[in-house]
Structure 1
Amino acid sequence: MEVKINVQNVHLAEVIESPEGVLSFTAPEHVAGAMEFGKVPQIAKGQLYGDGKITHSNTKKVAYQITANLNKLPTKWRRYMEGVQVNNGVESGTSKDDPKPFAIGWEVEKTGNQKEMIWFLYCLAEPIQETTRQSEDNINYSTDNVTITALEDDNLERFYTFIDTEDEEITTEMAENFFKKVQTTDAIAAA
């Protein structure tokens, strides 16, 4: 069993929705500077009581909350995610901004030359949080923090597509193709 040691190879793609609700994706773009990623399932819980005790309990995933900390999210992607208006290079943010859906994928490097790779297929971001600090005795770097909700699309019938190269069914070709396009099925394909 290998150990996770690094997050890297972040990719973003725009989601294009047809009038019929069918999704397609732009070509994935690499975004450098991944610092930390987290994913937490959001759950709905139900309990049935009878005779003064819980007789049945169930939980279901309803979404994922993803936190992404990056050196800098490219301006193009921040604007897209937040749905802000840009005219002649001048950006304006309003209460009418409409966040746009996107897919996000990343790789987790592991020891033994192994890796995990994941695509979350339909995501919406909260407005991006930025931390900027004054340099004093030492140089301080600024970072961007993004909170993302990943939803299950009705047509794709999944939140994400995931592979782990430790799994003997995962081929080198599958790993090489994983970020060439947004992977929406169990068949990992080239672009």
Structure 2
Amino acid sequence: MAEMKPASRMVSGQFINIQRLHVAKLLTDEAGETATYDTPVDLGKVLRSIDIKPSNSSADLYADGQSIDTATNTASYELTFDTAALPLEYMAYLLGHSCENGVMVANKDDVAPYFAVMFQSDKRNGSRRYTKFFKVMFQEPSVKGATKEANISYQTPTLTAKAIYRLSDGNSYTYADTESAGLDAETASNWYTTV
């Protein structure tokens, strides 16, 4: 693929909101094949904030008393979702637990599945940036509670997850931005319907 040089002095709207958290269970991911996913699930109005931290490593090559080359690698991405309260059914689905008749059970043999994770960041000028991580595994959340005092404070859960690269094509995530030239309107309108 030929490298495209961007135009000079491009601008982007400022982010003011994040919303529309969706997940789609990864069904198959084999090298040389096309990854397949279940139908996406809209988790509703739960996303309060997200923190994306790449796990980076770097190395320098020294010769004749100076660095002559440097290399970097991103092994994975640590995702932290600050959410409103999640229904038990969603927690069980994300973590691979069972949930029947309003009771979730975490068993020692449960295996958390991989998911695609989709959401959007809204900009002050009305534009949007869409994000999709292709292979994400959620981790058991830490739970913390506090008693009600004179001033009420919400106790919101935090979900952590790790995003890795897909075996099928080596991709980890993708962005789409409505301010980017050439973005197909269909890509934005179908962002949450398929992976």
Aligned ranges 1:84-99 → 2 under 5 Å: 84-86=97-99, 90-99=103-112
How many residues matched? Answer: 182
Q: Any idea what the Cα deviations from partners look like across 1:103-151, whole Å, max 9, x if unmatched?
A: 1111000011101001101001121233332222133322121111101
Please report how far the alpha carbon of residue 77 of structure 1 lies from its aligned counterpart in structure 2 after TM superposition.
Answer: 2.6
- Pick from 46, 58, 72: which aligns with 2:85? 72
Contact 1:78 1:128 in 2 (8 A): no
Give the distance between the partners of 2:184 and 2:29, measured in 1 at CA.
Answer: 33
Q: Which amino acid aligns with 1:131?
A: K
Displacement of 1:101 after TM fit? 0.8
Say which structure is richer in strand.
Answer: 1
Tell me the CA shift for residue 94 of structure 1: 4.1
Distance of 1:171 and 1:85 partners within structure 2? 40
| Superposition CA RMSD, Å | 2.2
Structure 1 unaligned runs (5+)?
A: 183-191
Cα separation, partners in 2 of 1:112 and 1:18, compared to 1, 3 Å: closer
Please list every run of at least 4 consecutive aligned residues from structure 1 whose deviation after the TM superposition is greater than 6 angstroms.
18-21
* Residue from 83, 100, 120 that aligns with 2:113: 100
The CA distance in 2 between the partners of 1:74 and 1:94, in whole Å, is 19
Counting aligned pairs with the same residue, the percent is: 23
Between the aligned partners of 2:81 and 2:169, the Cα distance in structure 1 is 24
**Residue 6 (structure 1) aligned with residue 28 (structure 2):** no
**How far off is 1:18 after superposition?**
6.6
Matching residue's letter, 1:14:
K
Q: 1:42 to 1:174 in 2, by over 3 A?
A: same
Kindly tell me: are residues 55 and 18 of structure 1, through their superposed partners in 2, closer, same or farther at Cα, counting changes over 3 Å? closer
Q: Structure 1 143/75 Cα, relative in aligned 2: closer, same or farther at 3 Å?
A: same
- Report the TM-score when normalising by structure 2: 0.83
